[in-house]
Amino acid sequence: MKQVEEIIAEQGFIDWANGVPSKQADDWQQWMQQNPHQQTLVNEALNFVRLLQVKEVTLSQAEIALEKNRLLTSINEAAKVVPLRKNVKWWLSAAACMLLVVASYGIYQLVFAKHETTTAYGQIAKQQLPDGSIVLLNSNTIIKYEKKWDNTHPREVWITGEAFFEVQKTANKQPFIVHANNFDVVVTGTKFNVVNRPNSANVLLKEGSVTLQAAGSKTLQLLPGEYVNVQNAVQHNAPLAKELAKEEATLAWVNKKLYFENANVTLVAQKIKELYGLEVVIASNEVAAKTVSGILPNDSLDVLLQALEATAEFKISKKANSIYIEMPN
């Protein structure tokens, strides 16, 4: 019968607990199906792994002392009901558990932690990955990846937001996988753009080739200049479909621009919220029915709003954390 400490030491369990696809995770899933009586033990191990998955913050000495005192109190209480003949083994297990709790941050950093790069509202930043690949992150974006990559496992990145990837090829053609909420992008060496936001999800391929995998849909291989609107497929429960990319519009942000072509004001408001974190209030249906076309600056909210107002189609004002778009006087 497995013990908790044995379970959390298995890579297959860690992969399964974190939702990382691997053969070991599949083997672990099969073991669980064959051993349903171990579910309680598995739940304990899963809770422990989740405990370790905290943000990368350093624990203070006071916090460590507090956790030690809590654990010692629990040990003392439990020891009152533990039979004498089991004391030695039990105390060894308790001591091991205490060391794990006290060192949880260190274990997390060395084994479980992912490096995280975040851009603030209105910020664009470049990040080099462990293999030399380059990622340009749009505003309000987070990417996560393991701190060290080897040449035996796929290179994996998790994204929330928008980013442009320039992936380096490896000698053994090691796969590079970008994980989003409803889809994965699998490549070896290429340049592509990925959007994974609440109201939009899409992939545009600029160079090379990628394979797109989405839940409930067949895999789809993209060629340069092709684009897939994943959000549309998910919303309509439809297969992934390729279309000719509007590269200038999709990649305008790389050059700190926004490209609009007969875009209604609602879409403009959505972009402002995504990139700058501000609510946009559209004063009337008349305003909402208007459209915007053109290339606007994206590196300054004030300049963007001034450019919109310069069209003489809108009156724009800022109040607290909201932007109001009205008809001009």
- What's the CATH number where 279 sits? 3.55.50.30
pLDDT at residue 117 tops 90:
yes
Average pLDDT over residues 134-152: 93
Q: Which is higher by pLDDT, 87 or 27?
A: 27
The mean-pLDDT minimum among 28-42, 64-78, 141-155 falls in 64-78
Q: Which two three-digit tokens encode residue 6?
A: 């044995």
Regarding whether 273 and 212 lie in a shared domain, the answer is no
Round to whole Å and give the CA distance between 195 and 199.
10
- Together in a domain, 162 and 228: yes
Question: Residue 28's pLDDT is what?
Answer: 76
Q: Which of 52, 54, 50 is nearest to 17 (CA)?
A: 50
Average pLDDT over residues 280-298: 90
CA gap 230, 215 in Å, rounded: 10
Distance CA 240, CA 153 (A): 27
Q: Is there a single domain that holds both residue 118 and residue 243?
A: yes
pLDDT at residue 304 greater than cutoff 80: yes
Number of domains in the chain: 3
**Unique residue bearing structure tokens 């091991």:** 96
Q: What is the mean pLDDT of the chain?
A: 80
Which is more confidently placed, 131 or 110? 131
Does residue 60 carry a pLDDT above 70? Answer: no
**pLDDT at position 3 over 90:** no
Residue with tokens 């422990």: 48
Count of Cβ atoms closer than 10 Å to residue 55 Cβ: 7
CA terminus-to-terminus distance, the chain:
77
Which structural domain, as residue segments, surrounds residue 96?
4-112
pTM of the full structure: 0.66
Strand partners, 325: 282, 316
Of the residues 225, 249, 273, the one at which a domain ends: 249
